[in-house]
Amino acid sequence: MPDLFATYYFHPRADTTPREAAEALAEEQTTGTWTDITTRTESVRRLDGVVESLEPLGTGHLARFRFPAELFEPGNIAQYLSVVAGNLFGLGRLDSVRLVDIEVPPALAEPFYGPKFGMEGVRRLLGTTDRPHIGTIIKPKVGLSPSETAKVAYEAAIGGVDLIKDDETLTDQAFCPLAERVAAVMSRLDEARSDTGRTVLFAVNISTRADRILDRAEVALENGANMLMIDVLTSGFAAIEVLAGDPSINVPLHIHRTMHGALTRNPDHGIAMRPIARLVRLAGGDQLHTGTASGKMGHVPVDEIRGDNEALRGPWHGIRTVFPVSSGGLHPGKVAAELGALGTDMVLQAGGGIHGHPGGTAAGARAMRQAADAFIEGVSAEEYARDHPELAQALLKWGSSPARS
């Protein structure tokens, strides 16, 4: 059976060589401990992690490790992570270490459901081909009543968005109960479909404890939900698996990565987005936030985001693709930078960049669509704005922004 490989970037402690630090990591995550033990026999050591390669990179070192497939319980993401992202972050021989990527062999990927819809399936639901999808987040993220939320959703829908979602902190609070919110929003989206002929998805946040998430999903579906949202790092990968594996859940899953910065932000320590993206794809997410080339949360190099998106969109073990979502500080003046840097097979999601438009939410949604249309047609936003007043207003307020390097 092919083994699992993991790549780490690390800085060894000053009194430790890179090779010693790498071998300490391999031992800690497999059969070793801090001292010699008599129970570590040769039959046990067949499960040792192996340092396959080690090379200097920048101020640190990049190492690729092979972990024997037998170490892993097939289909158990929690256990996979305990091996590739366990105690190693606290090892004394390492000043810092970052899990950069994982290579999951077919046998360890096979037990998972993968996305039910994937990028292609979501496009079929909405009748699109190669254009980017435009999404928005209900703003303010908390505080609106169900009817107020539904009004904002209607305005966004008639303006031209493809996706409307709850923000990560809104679940089932008393000021906006989930069942009432979903029923109210879906009723207004039915109105919008009558007005425009377009279907718009509403990703309702059902994040909760593991033993309740299916029940919460059922409440959302009973009230008309056509997409579900999960905060994966706070709810756990198993929350996605439970929903993807249940035959009664026949809507796409939108995956938010709230809390990811605690893992991904430090380029020297933690867990990069790439392994998270791969595990979300295995578990069954249909859409996943991966970051922006020009937005407000700009700590990740654009090349790294491209690689993360490719991990979602490229061929992989026959598993369906995942729609990358670019979100965080976007507005119409940043659309060209996003699409130019990251491609058009993605969701462009703007909250304040739609609702903060001088003409209101519907005008903000039109401006985002106009900016995307301009890019597809090979026209600058400034030129397109000459006969598209909503885009012109947005550019006047926010200007245009380039992508980061």
CB-CB neighbours of 395 under 10 Å: 20
What does the pLDDT read at residue 30?
Answer: 82
Tell me the pTM.
0.96
What does the pLDDT read at residue 405?
Answer: 67
pLDDT tens, position by position, 193-238: 999 999 999 999 999 998 999 999 999 999 999 999 999 999 999 9
What does the pLDDT read at residue 401?
Answer: 83
Catalytic-residue membership of 256: yes
CB-CB neighbours of 131 under 10 Å: 16
Distance between CA atoms of 49 and 29, rounded to whole angstroms? 7
What does the pLDDT read at residue 39?
Answer: 79
Catalytic-residue membership of 260: no
Average pLDDT in the chain: 95
Which residues, at least 6 apart from 105, have a Cβ–Cβ distance to it below 8 Å? 1, 2, 3, 4, 69
3-state secondary structure of 16: coil
What CATH architecture does domain 118-398 belong to?
Alpha-Beta Barrel (3.20)
The pLDDT profile of the chain, 405 residues, written as one tens digit per residue, is 699 999 999 999 999 999 999 999 998 888 777 778 787 877 678 878 899 999 999 999 999 999 999 999 999 999 999 999 999 999 999 999 999 999 999 999 999 999 999 999 999 999 999 899 999 999 999 999 999 999 999 999 999 999 999 999 999 999 999 999 999 999 999 999 999 999 999 999 999 998 999 999 999 999 999 999 999 999 999 999 999 999 999 999 999 999 999 999 999 999 999 999 999 999 999 999 999 988 776 678 999 999 999 999 999 999 999 999 999 999 999 999 999 999 999 999 999 999 999 999 999 999 999 999 999 999 999 999 999 999 999 999 999 988 776
Which position among 61, 116, 165, 256 bears the catalytic label?
256
Distance between CA atoms of 149 and 6, rounded to whole angstroms? 43
What does the pLDDT read at residue 38?
Answer: 80
Q: In CATH terms, are 4-109 and 118-398 the same topology?
A: no
What does the pLDDT read at residue 256?
Answer: 97
Six token digits for residue 238: 């198993």
Which residues, at least 6 apart from 315, have a Cβ–Cβ distance to it below 8 Å? none
Sign of torsion over alpha carbons 268, 272, 274, 275: positive
Beta strands in 38-126 (DSSP E): 50-57, 60-67, 94-103
pLDDT-above-70 percentage for the chain: 98
Which position among 11, 61, 139, 254 bears the catalytic label?
139
What does the pLDDT read at residue 298?
Answer: 64
Nearest-5° Cα angle at 143, 250 to 289: 45
Q: Can you give the residue ranges of every domain in the chain? A: 4-109, 118-398
What does the pLDDT read at residue 2?
Answer: 93
What does the pLDDT read at residue 50?
Answer: 93
DSSP 8-state assignment for residue 229: E
Helix locations, 261-301, DSSP H: 261-264, 273-283
Record: fold of 4-109: Alpha-Beta Plaits (3.30.70)
What does the pLDDT read at residue 297?
Answer: 63
Nearest-5° Cα angle at 195, 191 to 201: 60
